[in-house]
Chain A
Amino acid sequence: MTALARRMLSDATEAEDVAQEVFLRVWRTAPKWREGQAKFETWMHRVALNLCYDRLRRRREKTDPDAGLLVADSAPGAADRIVAREQAALVHRALDALPERQRAAIVLCHFQDMTNIDAAASLDVSVEALESLLSRGRRALKASLADTARDLMDGP
């Protein structure tokens, strides 16, 4: 849940707040949950996503998730670490730039390893709609990350 919220919000502190809130909601509403209505995992992801959407809506100004990331580093291997941080920052920015629903679809299917059926249920959309969100999201990411992807495929 923390990883999902971090990718949705790009803020580690807020992500942990969301994870805690998910826990509390699960705790409070567990008696209402019935096996067979929805998979527990799907239900929890839906709760987490809705909390993330709420926070994104409330956000008045966008924070820079990579602030302070590139600091002076003279230790051995520093150059590699800096490159890795820069690449990670590129991916973060590309994901952050996606519309919320597309980002959520990518996070659930690619990073949370959910099946298409479970991810669609978490997003409360059909599998066809999920597939459309994924395709559009990946197309946008491909455009944002074309150079990075090409470098990775070409190798060192």
Chain B
Amino acid sequence: MSMNEARMTAILAAYGAEPVRWPAAERESALAWLAAHGAGAAHVEARALDAALQLDGRAAPASDALTARVLQAIPGAGATVLPFAAAAGARSWNAGAIAALAACAVMGVVIGFNASGFSDDTTADADAAFGAALGVIVDRGDPESDG
């Protein structure tokens, strides 16, 4: 879709003023359009609303109580699989990996897992890690599997 004032206004109205939230396919052309035409009223209004929303302040991490509840719910796993670093260093890591990754997924903890096949905390890597961990769940008979 080519960029024009109407589409730029629609993007700002839906996604706000931060380019990182804009549709990836249109981000470059939208930035070019803004550079050429300048930020108008729609951009200023979007920025103001973005700023107001940042006052929400509810990005609280999971409480210790939730962490404990989640870990207790893991069959065959418990406090011994944590800290996550211990799981990351284990050769036979599937129980620790499952516990760590599932708990991370639920509690919003950044993946800090460096077993083979996993690298860092990007969304793509996290998704691959979840997939691999779930593959281990499916194939629990193979303790040496490392994704």
A interface with B by C-beta (< 8 Å): 1-3, 6-7, 12, 16, 19-20, 22-24, 26-27, 30-31, 33, 35, 39-41, 44, 84, 87-88, 90-92, 95, 106, 109-111, 113, 115-116, 127, 131-132, 134-135, 138-139, 141-142, 145, 148-150, 152-153
What's the least CB distance linking A14 to chain B, in Å?
12
Query: Does B45 contact A1, Cβ atoms closer than 8 Å?
Result: no
Surface stretch bound by A, among B29-37, B63-71, B81-89 = B63-71
B48 touches A152 (CB 8 A): yes
Q: Are B106 and A19 in contact (CB under 8 A)?
A: yes
**Is A92 a contact of B58 with CB atoms below 8 Å?**
yes
| Chain B interface residue count, Cβ-Cβ cutoff 8 angstroms | 50
> Which B residues are closer than 8 A to A by beta carbons?
10, 13-16, 20-21, 23-24, 44-53, 55-63, 65-66, 69-70, 73-75, 102-103, 105-108, 123, 126-127, 130-131, 134-135, 137-138
Inter-chain contact B10/A135, CB cutoff 8 Å: yes
- Give A28 to B56 CA distance when docked, in angstroms: 33
Shortest distance between the CB of A78 and any CB in chain B (Å): 17
User: Which A residues touch B45, using CB under 8 A?
Assistant: 142, 149
Q: Could you tell me if A41 and B126 are in contact, using CB atoms closer than 8 angstroms?
A: yes
A134–B11 Cα distance when bound, in Å, is: 10
Are A115 and B24 within 8 A (Cβ)?
yes
Give Cα A115 to B18, complex, Å.
13
Q: CB < 8 Å: which of A23, A113, A153 contacts B44?
A: A153
Q: A110-B16, A139-B13 are in contact. Are A148 and B52 (CB under 8 A)?
A: yes
Task: Show 27 residue pairs from A and B whose CB-CB distance is below 8 angstroms, ordered by the A residue.
Answer: A2-B61, A3-B58, A3-B108, A6-B60, A20-B70, A20-B73, A20-B106, A23-B106, A27-B102, A30-B137, A31-B137, A40-B134, A87-B52, A90-B55, A91-B55, A92-B58, A106-B53, A109-B21, A110-B16, A131-B14, A132-B14, A134-B13, A138-B16, A138-B46, A141-B52, A145-B52, A152-B52
A23 contacts B73, C-beta separation under 8 Å: yes
- List, in ascending order, chain B residues with CB within 8 A of A31's CB: 134, 137-138
Contacting pair A3 B134 (CB below 8 A): no
Instruction: State whether B131 touches A35 (Cβ < 8 A).
Output: yes
Extra inter-chain contacts (15) besides given A110-B21, A113-B21, A131-B10, CB under 8 Å: A2-B60, A2-B62, A2-B106, A7-B56, A7-B58, A16-B69, A20-B106, A30-B137, A41-B123, A44-B105, A88-B57, A127-B23, A134-B13, A142-B45, A149-B49
Closest beta carbon of chain B to A132's beta carbon, Å:
8
B106 adjacent to A88 (CB under 8 Å): no
B130 close to A40 (CB less than 8 A): yes
